[in-house]
Amino acid sequence: MANVAAFFDIDGTLYRDSLMVEHFKKLIKYDIVDQKAWFEHARDTFMNWDKRQGNYDDYLDDVCELYVKSLLGLDKTCIDFTSDQVIKLKSDRVYKYTRSRIKWHLDNKHIVIFISGSPNFLVEKMAMKYEVTDFLGSDYVFENGVFNGTVIPMWDSKSKNTAIDSFVKKYDIDLTKSFAYGDTNGDINMLRRVGNPIAINPTKELLAHISNDENLVNNTQIIVERKDIVYSLSPNVNIFDV
């Protein structure tokens, strides 16, 4: 009999921010990366998002581009050390709902898989922390122990779709009985592929796509966690432009 799986995005779905951003901050803290680069290239988009005058995705796009440039030429040992610090200090900063769902799936002997746009060296450590079955993140390529600037992404819906195909073959997964958890439009194909899609604190763009998809609008559970309360909403919830 085929297996039931649960596919989890990490940033914004499990972790309450971005692992990549946390790692970038650690690189700056330990003077591995010059903080001048942050202030010159990412401060404005961060401030716009922080004041709710800009888009979080725009901020992350800017940080991601700067992050990759900043890592170029860095030794893997420096990256591993700062990654360990991120997991040690920040890995418990997660949504209670998602953490409880991971435990529920593991208790029920489901295949639990992290699929994340964050760097694979961070995703691997989160996977070990939460004792999940398998994982896949964006692949940062190293040559002779040094990052060469090449990234094979896992943050877009096409890449995550391909990843699911590989995991289905690897673990003999029945997608009609499986679950997926995501928060942005990059997770849309994960949600479409499974019988039990759950959107956690979805972005406006993702919620709009769910509302306009006949299959998703009838099957998707919308979860919003704020402070110490978890809300379960209909995909038909009104979206307000303010």
Q: DSSP letter for 186, please.
A: G
185-205 burial code (b ≥16 CB/10 A, e <16):
bbbbbbbbbbebbbbbbbbee
The 10 Å Cβ neighbour count of residue 42 is 21
Across-strand partners of 196? 179
Which segments within 14-80 are labelled E, that is strand? none
Handedness of CA 48, 50, 54, 58 (dihedral sign): positive
Topology of domain 5-233, per CATH? Rossmann fold (3.40.50)
| Residues 140, 238: Cα–Cα separation, whole Å | 39
Residue 117 · residue 186 · CB < 8 Å: yes
The residue ranges of the chain whose pLDDT is under 70 are: 37-59, 236-242
> Is residue 111 a contact partner of residue 4, using CB atoms and an 8 Å limit?
yes
Tokens describing residue 207: 């919620």
Q: Where are the domains of the chain?
A: 5-233
Please give the biggest Cα pair distance in the chain.
56
Nearest CA-CA partner of 22 in 104, 174, 96, 126:
126
Residues 198, 210 contacting (CB under 8 angstroms): no
81 contacts 158 by C-beta, under 8 angstroms: no
